[in-house]
Amino acid sequence: THGKGTVQTVLKLDRMRSFRDKKPGAIKFTMAKFYRVTGASTQKKGISPDIAFPSFLDHMELGEAELDHVLKWDTIQSQPLNRNFTAITPYVEELHRRSDIRLAENEMYQHLVEDIAEFGKRRAEKYITLNWEKRIKLREEEEYWTERSQAVLGSDRNDDDEPEDAPEDAPEGIEVKDDVQENNEGEENFPDVYLDEGLALMGDLVEILDRDNKLTSNHMIKQKGLE
């Protein structure tokens, strides 16, 4: 990230009397870092997710961590934190298992994983052939992967969707608009595989927590009955 793990300030050099006539520009300083309640810095590492999906960004050198002379990751003293309500560590393994089963049957996700792997392979190539026939073949392969990716991402689109009609009891003179259509006008309505799976994982977590809470409640009731 840039500016999420550290604090920057800009010093304009033309404020200095000896530099005013030379248009010296400015210098950016990194002057502080952010820390989590656990004491760990977000610098370079960010916050590691419990469940991560493959991404095109995995094969790209982006972020402050890729720069020279970047501040190091470190820790400070942690602060007391009651994590009982939000702790999901005991359930991560089961969430992983459920997600893997779903994604193994998700054709769009599998195609996306293949596209990401192909993207990484091409990013890692340091040379390009000067042979005409090989170059033409390589270009055809690139066009194939581009068209395939677009087809996969657009496979859940429904171009026949029409905005809903205005309610019959809508007051005269007031125009009723489809907010979603208005806000997204001109944008591609691509499905989000990761968003769908994220929602499914949230549903899994709610179900698991509800199940465990019921088991805990029943156990406490039985204990009180024995007493």
In 3D space, the residue among 58, 55, 153, 157 whose CA is nearest the CA of residue 108 turns out to be 153
Q: Residue 106 pLDDT more than 90?
A: yes
Q: Residue 170 pLDDT more than 70?
A: no
Compute the average pLDDT of residues 55-81.
Answer: 84
pLDDT recorded at residue 3:
53
Instruction: Look up tokens 């720069």; give the residue.
Output: 67
Q: pLDDT-derived band of residue 200, with 50, 70 and 90 as boundaries?
A: very high
What does pLDDT average to over the chain?
A: 77
Q: Residue 174 — φ and ψ, nearest 5°?
A: -105, 125
Compute the average pLDDT of residues 45-52.
Answer: 86
Distance, in Å, from the CA atom of 202 to the CA atom of 197, rounded to the nearest integer, reads 9
What is the residue extent of each domain of the chain? 1-81, 83-157+189-211
DSSP state of 206: H
Q: Residue 94 pLDDT more than 60?
A: yes
pLDDT recorded at residue 199:
94
In 3D space, the residue among 196, 216, 204 whose CA is nearest the CA of residue 91 turns out to be 204
CA separation (Å) from 10 to 29, 30, 99, 102?
6, 9, 45, 48
pLDDT recorded at residue 13:
85
pLDDT in tens, 51-67: 999 988 888 887 777 78
More confident residue, 100 or 13: 100
Instruction: Look up tokens 């298992």; give the residue.
Output: 97
pLDDT in tens, 139-169: 898 888 888 777 766 654 444 444 444 445 4
Looking from the CA of 190 toward its CB, the CA atoms found within 13 Å total: 13
